[in-house]
Amino acid sequence: MEINSIGIIGAGQMGNGIAHVMALAGYEVRLSDVSQDTLDKAVALIERNLDRQVSRGKISAEDRDAACARIRPTLDVVEVAQTDLVIEAATEQEAIKQKIFDGLLPHLKPNTILTSNTSSISITRLASRTDRPEKFMGFHFMNPVPVMQLVELIRGIATDEETYRACLAVVDRLGKTAASAEDFPAFIVNRVLMPMINEAVYTLYEGVGNVRSIDMAMKLGANHPMGPLELADFIGLDTCLAIMNVLHDGLADTKYRPCPLLTKYVEAGWLGRKTQRGFYDYRGEEPVPTR
């Protein structure tokens, strides 16, 4: 099963990063979103990030130009459906993802592989609602995609070996490393990472430490490159809460109960860097803790 073209649905933080690395690896990319403005911003960001790689000597100017030429932004879902591999990279809400796959199904080629970049939602359940559960799997990139070396490959209960091998070959071509995960809530990375972040929020909620002391303690005491609250802001507090809810609902264990303070920040619309406020306020020259 040879893959030459990649369709990406969602041109946000994850989608534009996936388009970047796929185009740089030589794949023809169709990048789709519901908004032309979002597509324009995504392409401009990809170009800036490629320019940065050129300035640092990581790629040549010729590589950059060739990668840019391989990315075709489109509002037409049919163009995306006609690729060899589709990666859904929309927001972490199952209803939205399901609607996207429903719209794709009538236009897919017979051998097109469907994948989701979901960080926590059941691959088996998403796949079961399509016409090709054997050609469906999780393709979970880490953020920021051009920098992070890991990709989680998650097989649903029906995913066949050929589909897995085809996706593994794509990861190899990207120069990244694949971690194979079973289809249980939040897979590997977020099953371990999100409870740590949630516990850091509980530590803040209970007054054990403030934002700065908690992050400093984990950076200097555990040698983490970012503190857990700083990392939560980078990921997006809405995404963190969504994953914790998946863990709590899917495993029925109180240790995964989302911290009420995390819920409160999301209700306030303080989602982290993308809204300029989360556990830190990013509206000034330097981030300032909000607690």
> Known binder of ligand: residue 11?
yes
Classify burial at 120, counting beta carbons within 10 Å of its beta carbon; exposed 0-12, middle 13-18, buried 19 or more.
Answer: buried
Is residue 85 within 8 Å of residue 167, measured between CB atoms?
A: yes
> Known binder of ligand: residue 272?
no
Question: How far apart, in Å, do the first and last CA atoms of the chain sit?
Answer: 52
140 is catalytic: yes
Tokens 């006609």 belong to residue: 82
285 is catalytic: no
> Known binder of ligand: residue 252?
no
Out of 119, 120, 122, 198, the active site residue is: 119
Q: Where exactly are the structural domains of the chain?
A: 3-180, 188-287
119 is catalytic: yes
Class of domain 188-287 (CATH, top level): mainly alpha
Is residue 285 within 8 Å of residue 230, measured between CB atoms?
A: no
Question: Per CATH, is 3-180 categorized as 2.120.10.30?
Answer: no
Query: Quick one: tokens of 253?
Result: 């264990």
Task: Name the E strands within the chain.
Answer: 5-9, 28-32, 71-74, 85-88, 113-116, 136-141, 150-155, 177-182, 280-281, 288-289
Taking only the tens of pLDDT, the chain with its 291 residues reads 789 999 999 999 899 999 999 999 999 999 999 999 999 999 999 999 999 999 999 999 999 999 999 999 999 999 999 999 999 999 888 999 999 999 999 999 999 999 999 998 999 999 999 999 999 999 999 989 999 999 999 999 999 999 999 999 999 999 999 999 999 999 999 999 999 999 999 999 999 999 999 999 999 999 999 999 999 999 999 999 999 999 999 999 999 999 999 999 999 999 999 999 999 999 999 999 999
Out of 32, 116, 190, 198, the active site residue is: 190
Q: pTM higher than 0.85, yes or no? A: yes
Query: Quick one: tokens of 219?
Result: 């950076």
d(CA 203, CA 22): 40
